[in-house]
Copies of this chain bind each other. A is one copy, B any other.
Amino acid sequence: MALSKNRIKYIRSLELKKNRKANKVFLAEGPKLVGDLLEHFACRFLIATAEWLSEHKQLPTNDVTEVSEEDLARASLLKTPQQVLAVFEQPDEAMDTSAISRSLCLALDDVQDPGNLGTIIRLADWFGIEHIFCSPNTVDVYNPKTVQATMGGIARVKLHYTPLPELIRSLKDIPVYGTFLDGENMYTQSLSTNGLIVMGNEGNGIGREVEQLINRKLYIPNYPSDLETSESLNVAIATAVVCAEFRRQAASL
C-alpha cells in the first residue's frame, strides 16, 4: 500500500512542537524503540516494511501501512530510516510531587538540547529515577530527537513541566541539590536517597532564582592536574556522574 502525501506531510509536521501539541501525539522510529513504546503508549498508526511486519503479526493498532523502504525514507526524520515508524498519543500524566520525598528525582532548569534531554531520560531510567521535573522552557520531551535518544526510557521515566521555584518552595525539609563550582566536593558529602537534584542550562547553568532555593550545593571534582583542563562537563555527563555517586552511596549503606 502506498503512503499518502497527506500522511507523509503529517508525519514530517511532527518535527515541530506546535503540531505535536495540537495533535497530542509524538513520533518514534526503529524496531527497538517502537517495540518498547508499543507496550506503553497508545499507538495512532504505524508504518513499516514487509520485513518488520512479518515479525510482528499482533499489533495494538489497526492503522498499519506496509511500505517500501523508499516510502519509509520519505516519511522518516532519520538519516537512516529503520524499518518502522509509529505515531503515539501523548499520555496525560498527573504530577506527583510526593515522589520527591520518597525517592530521588531530577529537575532540569532550561535544558535546551533535545539529545541531552533524551540522554538524561535514558540515564535516569538506568539509575532508577522515575520522575524528572522540567522548567517550562526545557526542550520538549516529545521532540523526535529526544524520543530517539531515550532508547525507550520515555516509557518508564515521567516528565513534568512546571515552574521550578514554586515546586521547590512547596517542598518541606527535603534536600535540594545542585552542582556549582563553589559547592562541596560531592564525594565528601553524605548524599540522601530522596530529594531533588537540579541540573541547569547548557550555557548558563542553574538560573539565579532556582539557585537561591538549593540547600545542598555540590561540586563534581575534576582531576587534580597542573595542566589547563576543561572548565565544564556536558549537562548529561554531569547528571550521570552525580546520579552514579548518589546510587553508589545508597548501595554501600
Contacts and interface: CB of A to CB of B under 8 A. Distances in A.
A141 to B, nearest CB: 16
A156, A187, A234, A250 — most chain B CB neighbours (10 Å): A234
Contact of A222 (B128, B130, B223, B229): B128
Given A122-B230, A151-B230, A127 B244 contact: no
Interface residues of A, number: 40
B156 A126 contact: no
A151 to B, nearest CB: 7
A138 interface: no
A125 interface: yes
Interface in A116-171: 119, 122-123, 125-130, 149, 151-153, 156
Contact of A237 (B119, B221, B225, B232): B119
* Oligomeric state, in copies: 2
A227 B119 CA distance: 19
Interface in A16-71: none
Contacts of A126: 222-223, 229-230, 232-233
B234 A247 contact: no
A127 B240 contact: no
A245 B220 CA distance: 12
Nearest to A244: B241
Contacts of A251: 187, 221, 224
A156 B228 contact: yes
A225 B122 contact: no
A252 B128 contact: no
